[in-house]
Amino acid sequence: MKDLDIRLQGRPWATDEMARHDELPGRLEMVGGKLCLDDEQRMLLLGALLEHVGTACAVQLGPLRAWKDAIAQRQEDEDWDAMPAVGVEQFWRPATQRLSFKKRLELKPLVKKRRKKSR
């Protein structure tokens, strides 16, 4: 996905920014009950809309708890990505990326036990 310039307050695009968004869907279509053809197109469209309306406006939609949970999940993912992977962790880590940070930490001792048993 191209670099987005999503800010607290929305803004119009400058002339030189228009070309960044040439991959936006030309028209909205419903496919399988969802807008656009795939997740990539949906994310491009959402990113473009967020550039226009800003995050301050976006968080007015939906319950505040959903936004807080999403931020907490993103923070966990960034914390996990910042942890250095060493040894056997380099191999099992990609398979566990979709789990919560707390669940991944719970799995670590189990992986160590299995590694000891296999020796």
What percentage of residues in the chain have a pLDDT greater than 70? Answer: 76
- What tokens does 84 get? 């250095």
Domain boundaries, given as residue ranges, for the chain: 15-58, 64-118
More confident residue, 3 or 46: 46
In this prediction, residue 7 carries a pLDDT of: 95
User: Pairing state of beta strands 30-31 and 34-35?
Assistant: antiparallel
DSSP 84: P
- What tokens does 59 get? 């968080």
Closest CA to 29 of 13, 16, 45: 45
Tens digits of per-residue pLDDT, 63-91? 999 999 999 988 887 877 777 666 555 55
Judged against a pLDDT cut of 70, whether residue 43 lies above it is answered with yes
Average pLDDT of the residues in 80-107: 64
Q: Residue 60 — pLDDT band, cuts 50, 70, 90?
A: very high
More confident residue, 21 or 90: 21
